Amino acid sequence: MKTYKSLVAVLALSSVAFAGGNISPVTQYEDTDYTASQEVEVVPEVKPVVEEPVVEKVIPVEVAPIASAMMGGYVGLGLTGIADRVSANGAQSNVFRNLGCCQDRQLGLTALAGYDFDENLGAEVRGTYGQWQRDNTNKFKNVGAYLKPQVDLGGVNLYGLAGYAVTGGGNTTTGDREGDFSYGAGLDVPLTEELKLFGDLVQYIDKGKDNAMGATAGLKYQF
């Protein structure tokens, strides 16, 4: 009998549960609508970084003309037209023209050596010796030492000569050696980095009755 009552109780409880009775609370969730814009993650626009090319500044370097840049020692050899004159009043000789009486003209060689300290100043020694003379006169001889101020004229070097020279032979009054202030001027024209063509006119002596000058053209080698 007790067993029967127990089964009845269990069936009663079961019928209550299946009949819609709430045994445990049910959680209600709200439906949320999402738009497409909300569902897509917005990525901020990133502008590409463009590196500007680095341009190196090129500083122009001024290259001095060859005539000015060729500093240092040099030697040279040239052919020289010589004119020496003896007159009572010490008249000027002229290497380019025959003056007749009292002037002798010779053709000789000039050897020189010098050093350019910079583009504006140098020093030079030179010697001239008459090789081919007229009228059987004595061969002309001259040795001088000079300061050489100079200036570059766009690749051509204009220079002066100022110093002291000793002159002998030729058509001088006695043929003895005489010393005097000597001066001149000339041009250097570069042919290569080492080689120059030069031409100058030098007054060797202008003292008393004696007057002598020479015009030289030749080559210089720079080292």
Instruction: Determine the pLDDT at residue 43.
Output: 60
Adjacent-strand bridge partners of 128: 110, 142
Instruction: Determine the pLDDT at residue 23.
Output: 46
- What gap in Å lies between CA 131 and CA 183, rounded to an integer? 23
Among the listed residues 211, 175, 185, 217, the one whose alpha carbon sits nearest the alpha carbon of residue 83: 211
Instruction: Determine the pLDDT at residue 148.
Output: 98
- Chunk the chain into consecutive blocks of 10 residues (it has 223) and report each block's average pLDDT, rounded to whole numbers: 52 49 50 52 64 65 50 95 84 85 89 95 96 75 97 94 92 70 97 95 92 96 94
Indicate the Cα dihedral angle 167, 158, 191, 218, nearest 10°.
-20
Dihedral class, residue 82 (left if φ above 0, else alpha if ψ from -120 to 50, else beta): beta
Instruction: Determine the pLDDT at residue 104.
Output: 86
Instruction: Determine the pLDDT at residue 162.
Output: 98
